[in-house]
């Protein structure tokens, strides 16, 4: 066993990288372990040398103006670009501008976290009970359900109203109605942190799978395996930043981590109150922006941003408007993702192209002639993610705080699921959680260590 470092960080996603920089800035020795052969976690940018636009297989959007992200992108010339474009809807093959967002907002504003918690489905049944005799209201309820499910990758029968209200408040605080993209891809944020880690001589070991964490107050022993076999690593503290569903995975399953002694009962209870959202996304690259020439809307779709549909495979699609690039992303949340997860790439791509033909009312052979390539990553089948991002179930108030609380000032948890300010499911929430865990360690240790 190697000499113990001050802190081992499990997971080289954005939360783990942010924690590592924070700790090293205070002189602590840090080792970062990553199970995959790449760094970034659920930030996963694909670069095609023949194509200048980044392909995002994971996180893509910056919601609002979170300082956790803006502080990094101010350092690079490329920076962020505003998400733009018009919202269109497709119903029975007919395309029209969307006009339902104000109605959805009116429904969402009726959610009240001062009332007993309930699922979004139950809330809709209670708040709008006469929709069976009001077809228009019934349609708005369906769209509100699709919005909540799509944005949060959540099961509307499980997601709690109290959690939704807190998330909406957190977005309002940072002007979340505005959307941005990293112009050169989210990987640029990863690169910024990696450069800082390299400058501070922090080692990040990839292809290193943590199978067990054996801990007691002030001491941690990790069992890992690599291509060279099993190994033991020691530290004074550990920050575990793996996704929620990995923490929830039964011991013995591939990718799961066994804690010895087990996590305290309050943390296990918190894990039971949170859920991992499901989503499948596929990114299509075409020869041209063919949709702007579709008749009889010729020219009207040239600034199409989002396309909301009633399709049973990819109910939401978007372009990179206002950028002039021939890319369309298909988004399949919740039950739509369940249908696609575990299927091979050919099946998912075929389903996506068929969806485009249906919702755009455009010949499939014409779409095929425009098609260049497609990329996707099945996050549900990825044993080191097991889903998209977290959300709170009914009765989940306090669960993030319980999950984030240090254990014996030795075992610390970070990652977007542990954010305590309503920013779950976001990159800035993940960064904030990593910095929070690092500061807790620094405050506990009470002094700056001399870098080795």
- pLDDT score of 131: 57
Cα–Cα distance, 21 to 72 (Å, whole number): 13
Running DSSP on this structure, what letter comes out for residue 297? S
pLDDT value of position 447: 47
Q: CB under 8 Å to 169, separation ≥6 — which residues? A: 422
User: What local confidence, expressed as pLDDT, does residue 190 receive?
Assistant: 96
| Arithmetic mean of pLDDT, 302-317 | 95
Give me the pLDDT at residue 298, please: 79
What average pLDDT is seen over the chain?
A: 93
Report H helices in 231-281.
244-248, 265-273
* Residue-wise pLDDT tens digits, 111-163: 999 999 999 999 999 988 765 677 788 888 999 999 999 999 999 999 999 99
pLDDT range class, residue 451, cuts 50, 70, 90: very low
Sorting pLDDT into bands at 50, 70 and 90, what band is 449? very low
What is the layout of strands, in order, in the sheet containing 80-82? 62-63, 179-182, 80-82
> How far is residue 422's CA from residue 420's CA, in Å, rounded to a whole number?
6
pLDDT of residue 366: 96
pLDDT digits (tens, 9 = 90+) for 164-177: 999 999 999 999 98
* 318 within 8 A of 306, measured Cβ to Cβ: yes
3 state DSSP class of 255: coil
Partners of 368 in beta bridges: none
pLDDT tens for each residue of 415-430: 999 999 999 999 999 9
Q: What pLDDT, in 10s, does the model give residues 56-84?
A: 999 999 999 999 999 999 888 889 999 99
The 10s digit of each residue's pLDDT in 44-53 is 999 887 788 9
Q: How many whole angstroms separate alpha carbon 162 and alpha carbon 118?
A: 8
Predicted confidence at residue 145, as pLDDT, reads: 95
How far does Cα 120 stand from its chain's mean position?
A: 21
Taking the C-alpha atoms of residue 153 and residue 146, their distance in angstroms, rounded to an integer, is: 10
């Amino acid at each position: 066993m190697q000499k113990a470092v001050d802190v081992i960080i499990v997971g080289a996603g954005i939360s783990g990288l942010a924690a590592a920089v924070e700790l090293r800035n205070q002189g602590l020795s840090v080792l970062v372990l990553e199970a995959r052969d790449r760094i970034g976690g659920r930030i996963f940018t694909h670069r095609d040398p023949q194509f200048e636009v980044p392909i995002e297989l994971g996180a893509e959007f910056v919601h609002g103006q979170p300082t956790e992200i803006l502080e990094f992108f101010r350092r690079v010339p490329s920076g962020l670009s505003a998400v733009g474009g018009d919202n269109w809807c497709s119903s029975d093959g007919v395309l029209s501008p969307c006009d339902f967002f104000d109605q959805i907002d009116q429904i969402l504003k009726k959610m009240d976290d001062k009332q007993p918690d309930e699922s979004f489905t139950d809330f809709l049944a209670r708040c709008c009970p006469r929709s069976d005799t009001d077809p228009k209201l019934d349609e708005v309820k369906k769209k509100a359900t699709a919005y909540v499910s799509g944005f949060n990758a959540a099961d509307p029968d499980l997601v709690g109203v109290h959690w939704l209200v807190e998330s909406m408040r957190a977005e309002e605080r940072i002007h979340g109605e505005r959307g941005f993209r990293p112009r050169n891809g989210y990987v640029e944020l990863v690169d910024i942190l990696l450069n800082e880690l390299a400058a501070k001589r922090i080692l990040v070991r990839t292809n290193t799978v943590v199978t067990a964490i054996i801990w007691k107050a002030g001491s941690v022993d990790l069992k890992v395996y690599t291509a060279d076999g099993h190994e033991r690593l020691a530290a004074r503290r550990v920050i575990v930043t793996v996704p929620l569903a990995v923490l929830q995975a039964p011991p013995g399953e591939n990718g799961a981590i066994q804690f010895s002694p087990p996590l305290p009962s309050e943390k296990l209870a918190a894990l039971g109150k949170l859920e991992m959202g499901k989503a499948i996304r596929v990114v299509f690259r075409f020869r041209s922006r063919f949709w702007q020439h579709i008749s009889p809307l010729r020219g009207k779709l040239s600034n199409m941003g989002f396309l909301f549909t009633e399709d049973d495979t990819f109910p939401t699609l978007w372009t990179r408007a206002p950028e002039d690039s021939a890319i369309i992303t298909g988004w399949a949340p919740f039950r739509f993702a369940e249908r696609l997860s575990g299927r091979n790439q050919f099946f998912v791509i075929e389903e996506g192209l068929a969806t485009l033909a249906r919702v755009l009312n455009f010949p499939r052979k014409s779409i095929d002639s425009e098609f260049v390539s497609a990329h996707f990553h099945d996050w549900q089948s990825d044993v080191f993610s097991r889903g998209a991002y977290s959300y709170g179930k009914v009765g989940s108030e306090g669960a993030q705080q319980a999950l984030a609380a240090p254990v014996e000032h030795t075992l610390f948890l970070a990652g977007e699921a542990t954010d305590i300010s309503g920013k779950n499911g976001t990159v800035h929430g993940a960064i904030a959680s990593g910095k929070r865990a690092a500061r807790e360690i620094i405050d506990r240790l009470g002094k700056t260590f001399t870098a080795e």
